[in-house]
Amino acid sequence: MSFWAACPCVTQRAQQQVSIMIERVPQLIVTGILQGGIYGLLAMGLTLQYGVCRVLNITHGEFVMLGGVLTYTLGINLGINPLVSAAITGPIMFVIGFLLHITLFRALKARSPAQPVFEGSALLVAFGIMYVILYIAQIGWGGLRLPTTWLAVKVVFGGMTLFLNQIVAFAVCVVLGVAVYLFLSRSRLGRAIRATAEDPATAGLMGVNINIILAFCFGLGALLAGVAGPLSAMITNPSTSIGFQNTVIALIVVTLGGLGSVPGSFVAGIIIGIVSMLVIGLWQPILTVPVYYGILMILLLVRPTGLLGKR
């Protein structure tokens, strides 16, 4: 008689665990889609900054962090909910991003003898800005998680238990994602941005103010991060330590979706959201980031341009 036959309780327990895990998969996938909307939104901002401005903005996650902690402050002191906070923090981050590019990065570009030199120098400068923002935020808000969970009302749908704040945040992300895509593809300013991304010199000869366009794109990317912060704060309590984590996620999502592809960033954000929920729910949360990088390495070997990038 085998060991498993002699111990039917063990196999029964294992079967129950497998059955529970299978039943949880739809719930985890839907939750991952909702979470992935936020990942897609913040990645869209980074792909604009790098795809157009050629600045690999390591500071990007700190704008998400600032949006989250400002949401806490506005909620505690003025009773403002995260959706209204997003309408406040987004423009604030736009102004900061616009000013950073039109002053610091513009001067850096003017002094760089070649594009690769500028990109390397900009990356180092972004690291410096990241630490400045991080330490200022830690002085102002400390290092603890700040309670801002809002609309944490359970919604039962199709046998799955979701939360209203997740659904609302995802809906806002979809609306903003579509709006940015339509703006870039159909508006006159959007065409100028795409022309600048393709060939800055030719766009300048055609009358496009390259410096303003670059600063605008950098500011727009910061705006999307500034909106992603309050939306994330609706679901999880923010802290000053979440910046770099969001930057890493944004970098992986941008590469997965295809550098410079706005739709690709949003689709990749959904994929990463699903993967993260499956790993957390069925495996070990600590393995989430290694799994991200594993997917990224496989994709770079199979399709280096990303899911929707140009070959």
Q: Which stretches of the chain are DSSP H helices?
A: 3-6, 8-51, 60-78, 82-99, 106-111, 115-141, 164-186, 188-198, 200-205, 210-235, 243-257, 262-282, 288-302
Residue 239 has φ and ψ, to the nearest 5°, of -155, 170
Q: What is the pLDDT of residue 242?
A: 86
Question: Of 85-94, 133-142, 210-219, 280-289, which range is least confident?
Answer: 280-289
Asked whether residue 210 carries a pLDDT value surpassing 50, the answer given is yes
Structure tokens at 109: 């570009």
Instruction: Tell me, rounded to whole angstroms, the distance of Cα 184 from its chain centroid.
Output: 19
- How far is residue 18's CA from residue 14's CA, in Å, rounded to a whole number? 6
Other CB atoms within a 10 A radius of the CB of residue 196 amount to: 23
Q: What is the pLDDT of residue 26?
A: 83
Q: What is the pLDDT of residue 13?
A: 56
Classify strands 154-157 and 160-163 as parallel, antiparallel or unpaired: antiparallel
Structure tokens at 80: 């403002």
Does residue 136 sit within a domain? yes
Query: Tens of pLDDT along 18-65?
Result: 555 566 788 888 888 988 999 999 899 999 898 888 888 999 999 999
Burial class (CB in 10 A: 0-12, 13-18, 19+), 164: middle
Sequence letter at residue 43 = A
Domain of residue 183 covers: 32-243
Does residue 115 sit within a domain? yes
Query: Tens of pLDDT along 84-118?
Result: 999 999 999 999 999 999 999 999 998 988 888 88
Q: What is the pLDDT of residue 60?
A: 92
Q: What percent of the chain has pLDDT over 90?
A: 31
Q: What is the pLDDT of residue 1?
A: 45
Confidence category of residue 2, pLDDT binned at 50, 70, 90: very low
Cβ within 8 Å of residue 251, ≥6 positions away:
46
Does residue 44 sit within a domain? yes
Query: Tens of pLDDT along 245-297?
Result: 889 888 888 888 887 788 888 888 998 999 888 888 777 778 887 887 888 78
Does residue 225 sit within a domain? yes
The Cα angle at residue 43 between residues 141 and 166, in degrees rounded to 5: 70
Q: What is the pLDDT of residue 175?
A: 94
In the chain, how many domains are there? 1
Query: Tens of pLDDT along 182-204?
Result: 999 889 998 999 888 888 888 88
Q: What is the pLDDT of residue 4?
A: 44
The DSSP letter of residue 52 is: T
* CB of 148 closer than 8 Å to CB of 71: yes
Does residue 287 sit within a domain? no
In the block, tokens 């944490």 appear at 152
Does residue 141 sit within a domain? yes
In the block, tokens 């402050």 appear at 73
Long-range contacts of 190-194 (CB under 8 A, 24+ apart): 193/52, 193/217
